[in-house]
Amino acid sequence: MGVAGGVYSLVLPRSVLEGVLRHASEAYPEEACGVLLGVVERGSGVVRRAVPLRNVLQSRDSFWFDEEEWMRVVARGREEGLEYIGLYHTHPGKSPVPSLSDRHRMLECPGEVWLIVGFEPGGRVSLAAYRVGDDGYSLLCIPVEEATE
């Protein structure tokens, strides 16, 4: 399942980010991951919902998920008119720079947006979003706009 239309920036409502941060602190010190659902408007992925997935690796420095669980979330979103925009995951105590395995996975998911959240409970939050470029191998860091709603 690919992403409809090219997404070259992300709009992230405050309430969605707060949900991601709650998930991040529950999972801490392990990585948290989930699905970003929303609508695509003029090249921008407007996130409406972030749905947590279980990190089956239960790891502090990597994540992956059960692909059937992922498929159920994407299908349910579609029934509600929401498109699959991509994935989010957290980097506990680290910056939101893609790891080597993140890079490998991303290249397998062209068109998807990956939101990475560097997170520390009670500490600084830093986030960045990436996608594979049109050349199919470079990684682009794309703008994230935080919206009040």
Residues that bind Zn ion (CB under 5 A): 99, 102
Closer to Zn ion by CB, 102 or 112: give it: 102
Closer to Zn ion by CB, 99 or 126: give it: 99
Q: Shortest approach of Zn ion to residue 90 CB, angstroms? A: 8
Reference 14, options 134, 136, 127; nearest CA is 127
DSSP characters for 86-105?
A: EEEEEEETS-S---HHHHHH
| Residues in the chain, overall count | 149
Q: Shortest approach of Zn ion to residue 9 CB, angstroms? A: 20
Tokens found for residue 98: 């893609």
Closer to Zn ion by CB, 46 or 92: give it: 92
Alpha helices in 3-124 (DSSP H): 14-27, 67-79, 100-107
Rounded to whole angstroms, how far apart are CA atoms 19 and 104? Answer: 27
Q: Shortest approach of Zn ion to residue 98 CB, angstroms? A: 6
The residue whose Cβ lies closest to Zn ion is: 102
Closer to Zn ion by CB, 48 or 89: give it: 89
Q: Shortest approach of Zn ion to residue 107 CB, angstroms? A: 14
